[in-house]
Amino acid sequence: MLVYRYYSLQITQHDDFLTQSDRNRIRVEVIPPPRGQIVDRKGRVLAANKPTFVVGVILERSEDSEALIDTLAQRLSLTEPELEAFRERSSRRRPFEAVPLKLGLDDAALASVAVDLHQLPGVVVDAQLTRYYPYGHELGHVLGYVGRVSADDLLELDSERYQGTLHTGKVGLEKRYEPLLHGKPGFQHVETNAHGRVLRVLEKVAPVPGKNLRLYLDLDLQREAVAALGDQRGAVVVLDPLTGGVLAMVSNPSYDANLFVEGISYADYAELRGSLDTPLLNRAVQGQYPPGSTVKPLISLGALAQDFITPEIEIPDPGWYRLPGDDRRYRDWTLRVRGTGHAEMVDLRMAIAESCDTYYYDLAYRMGIDVMAELLQPYGLGQRTGIDTTGEQDGILPSTDWKRTALGEPWYPGETISAGIGQGYMLATPLQLAQAAMVLANKGESFVPSIVHRVDDLTVGGVQRPPIPMDEADWQAVVAGMVDVVHSPRGTAVGISRGIGYQIAGKTGTSQVVSIAQDAIYDEDTISERNRNHGLFVGFAPAENPNIVVAVIAENGGGSSAAYPIARRVIDSWLADESDV
Q: How far apart are CA 492 and CA 486, in angstroms?
A: 7
CA distances from residue 492 to 345, 433, 487, 513 in whole angstroms, order as listed: 18, 18, 9, 20
CA distances from residue 281 to 254, 288, 291 in whole angstroms, order as listed: 8, 11, 18
Classify burial at 100, counting beta carbons within 10 Å of its beta carbon; exposed 0-12, middle 13-18, buried 19 or more: buried
Q: How far apart are CA 328 and CA 438, in angstroms?
A: 37
With contact defined as beta carbons under 8 Å apart, do 395 and 295 qualify? no
Angle at 382 between CA 381 and CA 387, to 5 degrees: 75
Q: How far apart are CA 226 and CA 186, in angstroms?
A: 40
Closest-CA residue to 380 (of 324, 442, 448, 321): 448
Question: To 10 degrees, the CA torsion angle through 383, 387, 390, 395?
Answer: -20
Closest-CA residue to 209 (of 156, 264, 258, 165): 165
Contacts of residue 406, defined as CB under 8 A and 6 or more positions apart, other chains included, come to none
In the β-sheet with 198-205, what is the strand arrangement from edge to edge?
26-31, 186-192, 198-205
Alpha helices (H) along 242-385:
266-274, 283-286, 296-305, 334-338, 348-353, 357-367, 369-376
Q: How far apart are CA 381 and CA 398, in angstroms?
A: 10
DSSP states of 184-250 as a string?
B-EEEEEEE-TTS-EEEEEEEEPPBPPPPEEES--HHHHHHHHHHHTT--EEEEEE-TTT-BEEEEE
Q: How far apart are CA 120 and CA 113, in angstroms?
A: 8
DSSP state of 32: P
Closest-CA residue to 508 (of 282, 310, 357): 357
Q: Among residues 8, 91, 275, 293, which one is catalytic?
A: 293
Classify burial at 71, counting beta carbons within 10 Å of its beta carbon; exposed 0-12, middle 13-18, buried 19 or more: middle
Closest-CA residue to 39 (of 170, 181, 184, 178): 181
Is 488 catalytic? The answer is: no
CB neighbour burial string for 137-165, b if at least 16 within 10 angstroms, e if fewer: bbbbbbbbbbbbbeeebeeebeeeebbbb
Q: Is 150 helix (H, G, I), strand (E, B) or coil?
A: coil
Closest-CA residue to 232 (of 295, 283, 273): 283
Q: How far apart are CA 353 and CA 332, in angstroms?
A: 14
Residue positions annotated with a catalytic role: 293
